[in-house]
Amino acid sequence: MYHSWLDRWDERRARRGEEGKERTALVLDSARAFPGAKKITNLEEFGVLANQAVADPSFFDEPGRNDQGFQRQDGWLKFPSDMFTDVEENNVVWAKITESGSFDQVMVIFHHWNASGRNRQIANFFSKRDITVVEIAMPYHFERSRPGAAHADYMLSPNLGRTIQSVRQAVWDGRKLIRWLKSQGYREISVLGMSLGSWVAGLIAAHDANVSKASLFLTAGSLADMVWTGRATRSIRESLEPEMKLTDLRRAWAPLNLENYVQNLARPDLALHVVLAKRDKVVLPDLSQRFMQSLKDAGAQPNVLELNCGHYSLAMPPYILLAGLSLKGFLSSADQSARRG
């Protein structure tokens, strides 16, 4: 009875999330995804460029490594993004810092798609436990929102190239922030990603050796599969389906598929923590399980917590409390090598 009510609650929450989302046309926009590449006109050519990006170990590396322009004041940090876009507000990155008074550990949080605000409760909880929390705004969210936009449609959309650009920008911004935090003296750096933010946090953890712990909430490997099957992205599938198949989208968004980087995520000095929802209709459980198996096949030993709730109801008690306590234990645990021993 309770879980039937919970499922209905998740469905109502999903319907509210659909407000303002409209079907739009498929757009390749390869120049945004792969700057400097030759102009392409079809999905097959786009897929070739996508595969080249997966094979390029520098695709998610920041250009220039410019540390200029960081401004910190009254608990806020802002700095210029190294990805220039046609939305001026999006070119400046904002982050909220909740200090712990200790430089032993800092956790960078990447929020979910269309988040309406940062999570002060999480920040306060961990800052009181000697973990500084930095909540970064992903592209086209919060202070970086596109004027007039009803939701963060430029972050995830039927525009294949802009979606790759946006996720790549989020990774660049996160890595630039992490490098700055390292320069400030923080010893251990962790990342926490939620839903779409888990793809960003996962990509950063896979490509940045400065990250020692990564916690992924409501995650899977293939972003294409999540968009095609998920409850929150029906408008995107409806926009794409007349023009392409799921196999086409998998090829196009291959650089955003965490399963393509499981060897990086399985490195010995990275600890992984995952929280999944058994009743999730946004990130389907079979997609999550496939990703978990890929990680284990690569030699990773993720600490996995599965809760009998939905995607949105994870935010409700007792589930959010259980997830928070599991994350607390993970962040407080010994290093990865000690656990493997």
Inform me whether the pLDDT recorded for 154 exceeds 60. Answer: yes
> Which amino acid belongs to residue 137?
A
Q: What is the pLDDT of residue 337?
A: 41
Beta strands 132-136 and 92-98: pairing type?
A: antiparallel
Those residues whose C-beta lies under 8 Å from the C-beta of residue 68, and which sit 6 or more positions away, are: none
Window from 15-24, 179-188, 191-200, 211-220 with minimum mean pLDDT: 15-24
Instruction: List the chain domain ranges.
Output: 2-20+27-35+42-58+66-187+202-210+219-311+321-327
> Which amino acid belongs to residue 52?
Q
Report the distance separating Cα 151 and Cα 141, nearest Å.
Answer: 8
Residues 40-99 have pLDDT tens digits of 889 999 999 999 999 999 999 988 777 789 999 999 999 999 999 999 999 999 999 999
Q: What is the pLDDT of residue 66?
A: 73
Residues 128-152 have pLDDT tens digits of 999 999 999 999 999 999 999 989 9
Residues 228-256 have pLDDT tens digits of 999 999 999 999 999 999 999 999 999 99
pTM of the predicted protein model: 0.95
Inform me whether the pLDDT recorded for 14 exceeds 90. Answer: no
In the chain, the percentage of residues whose pLDDT exceeds 90 is: 85
Report the distance separating Cα 281 and Cα 233, nearest Å.
Answer: 11
- Residue given tokens 């293939």 in the structure block: 222
- Name the pLDDT band for 1 (thresholds 50, 70, 90): low
Inform me whether the pLDDT recorded for 339 exceeds 60. Answer: no
Inform me whether the pLDDT recorded for 114 exceeds 50. Answer: yes
Residues 17-50 have pLDDT tens digits of 777 677 788 999 999 999 988 888 899 999 999 9
Q: Which CATH number fits domain 2-20+27-35+42-58+66-187+202-210+219-311+321-327: 3.40.50.1820, 3.40.50.970, 3.50.50.60, 3.40.50.300?
A: 3.40.50.1820
Those residues whose C-beta lies under 8 Å from the C-beta of residue 315, and which sit 6 or more positions away, are: none
Inform me whether the pLDDT recorded for 338 exceeds 50. Answer: no
DSSP 166-227: HHHHHHHHHHHHHHHHHHTT-SEEEEEEETHHHHHHHHHHHH-TTEEEEEEES--S-HHHHH
